[in-house]
Structure 1
Amino acid sequence: MAMANKGAKRKIAWGITGSGDRITETVEKMIELQKQYDDVVDVRVFVSKAGEQVIKYYKLFNTLEKHFDKVWVEINSNSPFLAGQLQVRRYEFLLLAPTTSNTVTKIALGLADSLLSNAAIMSQKAFVPTYIMPCDYAPGILTTILPDGSEMKLRIRKEDAENVDKLRRTEDVYVLETPEEIAGVFEQYFSRH
């Protein structure tokens, strides 16, 4: 784990991709966890270009800015300089939640051509744990909630689920299936025992 100055808050990097599936629940869970661990954790939010569109579509951008000190939006694969900060272990871990099948595929294939895929690849190289909550983790039909509250059914392709399985077998990468599982990660790192 990263070394922290005594009394200094420990940082985590939370990446948001362009998935609307469980985005509202994930934002609510992260706000709850930031409040619960506010004395020890500083959550820094990194939003992909597609993530910015989705966050605004769900009317959550102002909510993020209100509850988190730092919210950055992707300019390119290396700006903001998240990969470099992960390389020098400024963060305890990288959390990507929710994560599109596009980003999952890039990470599974080792492609670092976007802010969050680049960050995930660098975190693996630098021995920084990466927690990923994919939207498409098992083949079948998924029901997601749209911003107006209506439901939409989506097919989870076996190809997308196979990429998630590849991530499960990757060293220092941990797959989460629900926003509730994020609380367990925080407890593992930040609870006082």
Structure 2
Amino acid sequence: MTDERKKRKKVVWGITGSGDRIRETAEVMKEMRRQYEDDVEIRVYISKAGDQVVKYYKLFPELDAEFDKIWVEANANAPFLAGQVQMGRFEFMLIAPATSNSVAKISLRIADTMLTNAAIMSQKVMLPLYIMPSDFQEGEVTTTLPDGRDLLLVIRKEDVEHVEKLMAMEGVTMLERPEDIPKIFEDHFG
């Protein structure tokens, strides 16, 4: 590894068990890696449920080929992402897509998974936290299944309440769609 590569800034990309817009998110993140590869290292952390979904959507080989290293959760502290967040190793943390379960846990301060633990720690150390929830607003949403078929989902007010609670927290920015991600990189590294 060259000295230049060692000095690259690092970001966390966390993937939870949501399949909603996961392909689109992966495409945007691959583009961000290419666009900022000289200056930024995107470290990919996948929850246990996210690992299942990434494999179900057949994205793991693609992510593995595109990103330097991928970590998959063993438990809430392994890999020790929260410790790295606490030590200031990252410029920001992005969780995209985020399940309603992960969003609720973060809003309720339940740190029982690698990503919820790290997200809550990011708030404690004032590391910018960006979350793209699968359940952004109440109503009907159409998502794409791994086989390409559409699936209609009804987003309930209870799930949206956790999104709204996080929106009100200092240092947390909620994203509505994958197309919102490039602005984060531009704001931090532009």
Please say whether Structure 1 and Structure 2 have the same fold, judged by a TM-score greater than 0.5.
yes
In structure 2, relative to structure 1, the CA distance for the partners of 1:39 and 1:164 (3 Å cut) is: same
SS in 1 for 2:11: strand
Instruction: Count residues with an aligned counterpart.
Output: 187
Amino acid at match of 1:30: M
1:16 counterpart residue number: 15
- Provide the rounded CA distance (Å) in 1 between the counterparts of 2:27 and 2:7: 25
2:35 counterpart residue number: 36
| Contact 2:129–2:172 under 8 Å retained in 1 | yes
| Segments of 4+ moved more than 6 angstroms | none
- Provide the rounded CA distance (Å) in 2 between the counterparts of 1:80 and 1:170: 26
- Provide the rounded CA distance (Å) in 2 between the counterparts of 1:80 and 1:126: 19
Matches within 5 A, 1:167-182: 167-182=166-181
TM-score (norm 2): 0.97
TM-score (norm 1): 0.95
| Contact 2:47–2:114 under 8 Å retained in 1 | yes
Q: CA deviation at 1:188?
A: 0.3
Q: Which runs of 5 or more residues in structure 1 are unaligned?
A: none
Matches within 5 A, 1:109-148: 109-148=108-147
2:165 counterpart residue number: 166
1:79 counterpart residue number: 78
1:52 counterpart residue number: 51
Q: Which runs of 5 or more residues in structure 2 are unaligned?
A: none
Q: CA deviation at 1:164?
A: 0.1
Amino acid at match of 2:146: P
In structure 2, relative to structure 1, the CA distance for the partners of 1:158 and 1:64 (3 Å cut) is: same
1:156 counterpart residue number: 155
SS in 2 for 1:123: helix
| Contact 2:5–2:38 under 8 Å retained in 1 | no
SS in 1 for 2:79: coil
Amino acid at match of 2:129: T
Q: CA deviation at 1:7?
A: 7.4
Q: CA deviation at 1:148?
A: 1.0
SS in 2 for 1:171: coil
- Provide the rounded CA distance (Å) in 2 between the counterparts of 1:170 and 1:60: 32
2:106 counterpart residue number: 107
Amino acid at match of 1:122: M
Q: Deviations over 1:150-173 (max 9, x none)?
A: 000011010001100000001101
Q: CA deviation at 1:6?
A: 10
